Amino acid sequence: MTEVTAAPAATSTGAAVTRGGGDASRVTDRRRGGKRRQRLEILLFVTPALALMALFVLYPVYSAARMSLYNWKGFGPMVDFAGLDNYARVLRDEVFTDAVVHNFIIVFASIAVQLPLGLALALLLNRRIRGRGLLRTVVFVPYVLAEVIAGVVWFQLLQPRTGLLEQIVSGVGLPVPEQGFLGTPDLALATVFVVLTWKYLGLAVLLFLAGLQGVPDELHEAAQLDGASWWQVQRRIAVPLLAPTIRTWVFLSMIGSLQLFDMVWILTGGGPANATTTMVTYLISMGTQRSNYGIAGAASVVLFLIGFALALAYQVLVLRRDTKVDA
C-alpha cells in the first residue's frame, strides 16, 4: 500500500522540476520551500490518524505486552514480575497449542472449501440468468447478518433432538450423533466451520463478482470469436485476471480465521472438551473469566506475532506481485 501512495507524489515533484526549467537555484529554493510545505501538510493530515492509531492500536499492544510479563489478577498494582514465565505457560498449555491448531485448520479449510465454492458461485452469478439480482442477494445475506444473531439462530437450529437441522437429518433417515452436532467433540469444529462457510461465502462471492466486472469485455469477445467455449473463457481469461482479487480475499480470510471468536463463543464456547477453542477464546477465558491477565496477555502477544508474521510473509511472498504491477 505504501508503495502505491508514494508513487504519485514522486511523479508530481518530478514534473515541477521539468516545468521550472532555466534557473537552477530558484528551482531548488522553490523545491525546498515546497517540500517543507508539503511536509507540513502531510504532518497536518496524518497526525490525527496517527494519534488515534497510537491510542487505540499501539497503546493496547504495548499494554498487553506489559501485562504478559506480570502475574496480575486484574486489579491492584502490577508488581509481581514474572519475566517470560507466562509465555512458557501459554506455549506449554495443551489447550492453547490445540487452539492454534484449530485456528490453522480453519485457515486452510476456509481456503480449500470457500475459494472454489465462492469462485464457482461468482462465475455462475456473473452469467446472464433469470433472477440474478435475487440470487446474488440470497448468497450475500448471511454476511450482512450480525454474527451474534446468526450464531444464536444456528445454535437453535443445531439443538440436539429438538433442533430443526437434526429433525431434517433424521427425517430423511440419516443417523444423528448421540450428543448432537455441537456436543460431539469430533464433529464440533467441522460444524462450526460449516456455519462459518455459510456466513462468509457471501463476502468471497461479492469480492469475486466485483473482480470479474474488471475483466474487459473485449477479451471475452475476442476469445469467443476465436471459438473458445464458456469453460475455456473462464479458465484462461476470467480466473487468471481475477487472481489479484483472489489473493486479497485469501489474505482477508486468513486474518479472519486467526482472529475467529464470536461464532465459536456463541455456538460452543470453545467446548465440548476444548474441541473448538481458538486463540481468542483461550485468551478471553484466561483473562476475563479466570483473572489470569498475565497469561491472557502472553496469549494475545503470541496471537499478534503469529498474525503479524503470517501477514508479513503473505505480503512479501504473494501480494507483492499485485502491488508491483500497480506501481
Residues at the site binding other proteins, with contacts judged by CB under 8 A: 71, 73-76, 89, 95, 155-156, 159-162, 178-180, 182-183, 185, 188, 267-269, 271-274, 285, 288-292
Q: Least distance from C-beta 273 to other proteins, angstroms?
A: 3
Nearer to other proteins, 208 or 282 (CB): 282
Burial class (CB in 10 A: 0-12, 13-18, 19+), 270: buried
Spatial separation of the C-alpha atoms in residues 211 and 213, rounded to whole Å = 5
Dig out the grid coordinates for 132 from the structure. Answer: 440474478
Q: Least distance from C-beta 292 to other proteins, angstroms?
A: 5
DSSP state of 114: I
Pick from 240, 218, 257, 221: nearest CA to 123? 240
Cβ–Cβ under 8 Å, residues 110 and 257:
yes
> What does the longest C-alpha to C-alpha distance in the chain come to?
89
Nearer to other proteins, 126 or 268 (CB): 268
Q: What is the dihedral of CA 96, 102, 107, 108, to 10 degrees?
A: 130
Spatial separation of the C-alpha atoms in residues 172 and 225, rounded to whole Å = 49
Q: Least distance from C-beta 94 to other proteins, angstroms?
A: 11
Q: Least distance from C-beta 286 to other proteins, angstroms?
A: 8
Nearer to other proteins, 159 or 259 (CB): 159
Spatial separation of the C-alpha atoms in residues 21 and 310, rounded to whole Å = 48
Spatial separation of the C-alpha atoms in residues 167 and 178, rounded to whole Å = 13
Cβ partners under 8 Å of residue 100, min gap 6: 279, 306
Nearer to other proteins, 185 or 244 (CB): 185
Long-range contacts of 8-14 (CB under 8 A, 24+ apart): none
Nearer to other proteins, 158 or 242 (CB): 158
Nearer to other proteins, 104 or 155 (CB): 155
Nearer to other proteins, 67 or 139 (CB): 67
Q: Least distance from C-beta 269 to other proteins, angstroms?
A: 6
Q: Least distance from C-beta 275 to other proteins, angstroms?
A: 8
Q: Least distance from C-beta 172 to other proteins, angstroms?
A: 19
Nearer to other proteins, 17 or 168 (CB): 168
Pick from 160, 136, 148: nearest CA to 195? 148
Angle between helical axes of 85-92 and 293-314 (0-180°, round to 10): 70
Q: Least distance from C-beta 164 to other proteins, angstroms?
A: 12
